[in-house]
Structure 1
Amino acid sequence: MVNNKQMTSRVDNIVVVGQGAMGLLWYHHLSQDQILNSASVTVNIKNDVTLLASNQDLLSKNNLRTSSYQFTSYQQASPKSYLLTYSQIADIESADIILLCLKSFHIASKIESIAKYISPHCIVILAHNGIGTFEAVAKLLPSQQVILAMLTTHGSLRISPLTITHTGLGQSDIGLLSGELSYLQQEQLTSKLNSALPQVTFHQDIVKKQWLKLAINCVINPITALNNIDNGKVNDDNFTEQIKILLTEIIEVSQAENIDLAFTDLQAMVHKVALATESNCSSMRSDVLAGRSTEVDYINGYIHRLGKKNNVATPENTRLWQQVLNLKVSASS
């Protein structure tokens, strides 16, 4: 017997939350893919990709209808202008997917503000640096809500408000944090995202992937922010011992959380990422230089909190966490 609910499940109505570099990157590719796909559709099915921005309540009705954004494709010299469709309450209510591309410290408050409009059948995807937002989000949504994590290595740079450049091709990994998706639904979701901005892979164990990325972020982000250096400088010999200490602490905490990480693997990954992005400015360094809040509470701060919870000492991660917080205070004073 065919499961009609599964066969008719849709992933066409999408709300992207966040007008930053990553939010606009996904909005652009999803909305352009929707336009391309609609050319071959003969039945009149309402497909929508809209953007929920933090400042749209301040816009006039005319600006809401006529807004545009500037997007520069990867390795292209000049930007092009595209129409921007802002999300309304009806879009949130009908959303099949809500993709939150926000700083980690904004995730829970944004979910809280729109939770009453989110359908129980909607797929909620959390795309941010670090770990530690899921628990707060899960408390705000029904227990059966499908919540996924997304990790991406695409490079996107916000030049100015509503102006971004796709600076580097990468890949995205998604996987379940809670709820259930059939194999067919996993395939539908992955195909939708993959056709917009490849390569997207669905993982049965996304938590392990989250920890691998967390370990890399715990090294590259604070070292580059505190020393005001590009990513590649992390591979300099004078940081070797510090990296060893950071990774050793992370592995000890991960073991207490039943996550199996290997030191040599993490060391090689840090080296590889720093080398591949050697001329890049890390997100944490960018935030510090701009006087913005960083996500260090969900990176080294997350290791610090789990260390306390499991009675595992994390002096180096704790020290860097506190030093980056002090940098933010200094930048704003």
Structure 2
Amino acid sequence: MSIQTIYLFGVGGVGGYIGSQIVQATEKNSDIKTYFIARGAHRDEINKNGLILETGDKTIVSHPTLATEDLTNIPSPDLCLLCVKSYDLEDACEKLKFKVHQHTTIIPVLNGVDIYERIRTIVKTGYVLPGCVYMGAFIKQPGVVRHLDNDLVIYGRDPQHPDRLPSEIIEFLNAVPNMRFQFRDDPYPAIWEKYMFVAAYALVTAYSRRTIRYVHDHVELKIIVMEIMSEIKSIAEKKGFSFSADIIEKLTARGGKLQPEAQTSYQRDIATNHGRNEGDIFGETILRLGRELNVPTPVTKKICNEIG
């Protein structure tokens, strides 16, 4: 199977950066069509002026084949990078299930440790390669994405098809510039590590209304981050995963290396108070898994109650 149709489903900070790099990589290949699944003013600006990516001291303008919210009249994807927020995941999957074919590959890079299961309850066809992303980026204004740091996507085999090596996908993604796509036979240890990092910092930045760096540098807030990480680590260990003895210290230290203005998307959602946020994928999931596995999660519960 050749890759001819690509979806970037969700063109926020992460999806916008990845999509821009894929468009740049394929712009000279007329056989490859790239569709940005976006909505509202962001979609309109992309169709009018291209997606403007600000990264470092560079400004890159990328023109996808089309930015659209309507999947009806576009081809089925051979590759779909699923970059929506968790609260848009179900709706995205309901739309995708009518478009994917048996050879479609979906790579979800949104936060969470049960994203694969959530997708598979709706999308029964094609291949889903579990993944996670390390990247700081956000929509600066409609049509403009600001990239702060990191460019790493880790993904791996579909648990339903463990013997299938997606060689063509690996080869294609490895050729995308300014991105680090790392394929691993088992991506779940990396997904759990990312979840420990992002869930703890997301909860504490939303609770404190402070940036990641501020939280890292603040003694009391940093302790809360590490306590939440410890609760998540206990859940993961109960599920059979193991980590290095200093994993919490290593993950906590990453927060001190980010740009001073870096925020979590959950923090931004709580601050804007628009009614939708990633609370389900962070606090509620930790509390649910804690109950299911009989792992105490008192610090997470306290912070979730404070956030409201």
TM-score, normalisation: structure 2: 0.87
Aligned to 2:190: 209
Give the Cα separation in 2 of the matches to 1:65 and 1:219: 34
1:264-291 CA distance string (max 9 Å, x none): 21222211x1111151122222222222
Q: What 5-or-longer segments of structure 2 have no aligned partner?
A: none
Q: Identify the range of structure 1 (126-135 vs 232-241) with the bigger mean alpha-carbon deviation.
A: 232-241
Give the Cα separation in 2 of the matches to 1:237 and 1:201: 34
> Structure 1 residues 308, 92: CA separation in 2 closer, same or farther (over 3 Å shift)?
farther
Question: 1:30 and 2:22 equivalent?
Answer: yes
| Contact map agreement 1:297 1:321 (CA 8 A) in 2 | no
Match of 2:50, SS? strand
1:196-275 correspondence to structure 2 within 5 Å? 196=176, 197-235=178-216, 236-271=218-253, 273-275=254-256
Aligned to 1:331: none
| Contact map agreement 1:156 1:166 (CA 8 A) in 2 | yes
Question: 1:18 and 2:1 equivalent?
Answer: no
Large movers: runs of 4+ above 6 Å: none
> Structure 1 residues 164, 244: CA separation in 2 closer, same or farther (over 3 Å shift)?
closer
Q: Identify the range of structure 1 (290-299 vs 16-25) with the bigger mean alpha-carbon deviation.
A: 290-299
Question: 1:195 and 2:175 equivalent?
Answer: yes
Give the Cα separation in 1 of the matches to 2:60 and 2:127: 35
Considering fraction of residues, name the structure with more helix: 1
Aligned to 1:67: 48
Q: What 5-or-longer segments of structure 1 have no aligned partner?
A: 1-8, 39-44, 327-333
Aligned to 1:97: 79
Over alpha carbons, which structure has the higher Rg? Answer: 1
Q: Which amino acid aligns with 2:101?
A: S
Kindly state the Cα deviation for residue 139 of structure 1 after the two structures are TM-superposed.
1.9
Aligned to 2:304: 321
**Identity across matched positions, percent:** 15
Q: Which amino acid aligns with 2:56?
A: Q
> Structure 1 residues 67, 314: CA separation in 2 closer, same or farther (over 3 Å shift)?
same
Give the Cα separation in 2 of the matches to 1:210 and 1:119: 26
| Contact map agreement 1:253 1:307 (CA 8 A) in 2 | yes
Which residue, out of 108, 113, 121, partners 2:103? 121
Which residue, out of 122, 144, 162, partners 1:163? 144
Match of 2:185, SS? coil
> Structure 1 residues 64, 285: CA separation in 2 closer, same or farther (over 3 Å shift)?
closer
> Structure 1 residues 65, 238: CA separation in 2 closer, same or farther (over 3 Å shift)?
closer
Kindly state the Cα deviation for residue 33 of structure 1 after the two structures are TM-superposed.
0.8
TM-score, normalisation: structure 1: 0.81
Give the Cα separation in 2 of the matches to 1:266 and 1:92: 44
1:103-154 CA distance string (max 9 Å, x none): 0121122111231221021001111112233223212222x63101232223
